[in-house]
Amino acid sequence: MKKAMVVLMVMMLLCTSLFAQGVQEDGKQFIGLAMPETHVERWQMDGAALKEAALALGYDAEVTFGDADQTKQNAQISDFITKGADILIIGSVNEGVVTAVADAKRDGVEVIAYDRLITGSDQYDYYITFDNFKVGQFQGKAIVDALDLESATMSDPKFITLFAGSPTDNNAFFFFDGAMSQLKPFVDKGVLKIVGPAPLSSDDTANFTRIATENWRADLAKQRMENLLNGDAKNYTLDAVLAPNDTLARAIIEALLTDAKYRTALPVVTGQDGELASIQFIKDGKQTMTVFKDTRDLAKAAIDLADALLKGETPEIAGARLDTTTYDTGKKVVKSYLLEPVNVTKDNYMEVMIDSGYYTADQIR
């Protein structure tokens, strides 16, 4: 009898310890996937692609969306930890995520920052994203080329107004500085004039904040564009608008179309994310370009990174460049894997977005 009790106790302890380490009842390890929001379409695709890639490697996985509310996302992360997650892949909303990252670290759960650097923390080691500076360079170069700024003169300058992404999103600073690396030489020459707030670097905090868009909200971008049309830009005809992603680009275009000046001739408007509605806008000549960041590739790379870390192996991430110097959280420089973004215009959207299978031809009218 005593021996049976001992065996039973050992079995119970073994089950408890296995569950605590995240080995689910089905014997699989568990990956928690915390995405920031769904109002920007691409995150829905990221969540689906991450879960698919995790299941394909034999993991359990669950996706949550934080509705751009970091408190909500922190609760979701805490729930993953309680469920015994072995690793977390987090696309954060803002720096408030650091408390959840600290909790994960305390419980021995590794965190991978997904496409948004987690600033203010030294409690994690890896970031996986696209080359965000290059995303901005594509946006800036599109404006340089479309306006032929190389040939522009001070006597006939071109006019631009600037938008940036969320000030809570570290990527927004890289996007802006990448674009400005292309545009600033023409501002300095006096052939490109900035209408409205005119930061030439994201270090110009006061002016960068004036062009930034909290939580990437389309309604705020639309309102600000309308304010510009009735204010700083009232007596100008804009030749370009630097828009940091597709959601904001379409909101800005919607506002521009309310102004008779632009109803038949929109300025150059940039974007990012290859959202379906913006591919349609590009085909229709309303939006000039977008930057495709294939969420299928990013998701696969993130899961491959998680897989290597869970197996205690040195990560070898196909299609990604390892950067060990650029991405500083403010507490440490994290090892970052950067995938290559792709510039998309009217000339190549079929090849990049349709032939790649990301969208189908019948999705584009």
Enumerate binding residues for ligand GAL (CB under 6 A).
Answer: 40, 42, 115-116, 165, 169, 171, 216, 245, 272-273, 293
Residues with Cβ < 8 Å from 270, sequence gap 6 or more? 139, 142, 143, 179, 240, 241, 242, 243, 244, 249, 287, 288, 289, 290
Instruction: In angstroms, give the least distance from the CB of 118 to ligand GAL.
Output: 12
Residue nearer to ligand GAL on the CB measure, 74 or 290: 290
Separation of alpha carbons 160 and 144, rounded Å: 11
Residue nearer to ligand GAL on the CB measure, 278 or 288: 278
User: Measured at CB, which residue is nearest to ligand GAL?
Assistant: 40
Instruction: In angstroms, give the least distance from the CB of 169 to ligand GAL.
Output: 5
In terms of Cα–Cα distance, which of 174, 217, 216, 34 is closest to 114? 34
Residue nearer to ligand GAL on the CB measure, 29 or 278: 278
Separation of alpha carbons 177 and 181, rounded Å: 6
Instruction: In angstroms, give the least distance from the CB of 91 to ligand GAL.
Output: 7
Residues with Cβ < 8 Å from 153, sequence gap 6 or more? 191
Residue nearer to ligand GAL on the CB measure, 196 or 271: 271
Instruction: In angstroms, give the least distance from the CB of 144 to ligand GAL.
Output: 22
Instruction: In angstroms, give the least distance from the CB of 124 to ligand GAL.
Output: 17
Provide the angle, in degrees to the nearest 10, between the axes of the packed helices 246-256 and 276-283. Answer: 50
In terms of Cα–Cα distance, which of 227, 231, 223, 244 is closest to 162? 244
Instruction: In angstroms, give the least distance from the CB of 237 to ligand GAL.
Output: 29
Separation of alpha carbons 210 and 167, rounded Å: 10
For residue 153, what is the DSSP state?
Answer: B
Query: Which value, to the nearest 10 degrees, does the dihedral of the CA atoms of residues 149, 150, 156, 161 take?
Result: 20
Residue nearer to ligand GAL on the CB measure, 65 or 216: 216
Residue nearer to ligand GAL on the CB measure, 42 or 141: 42
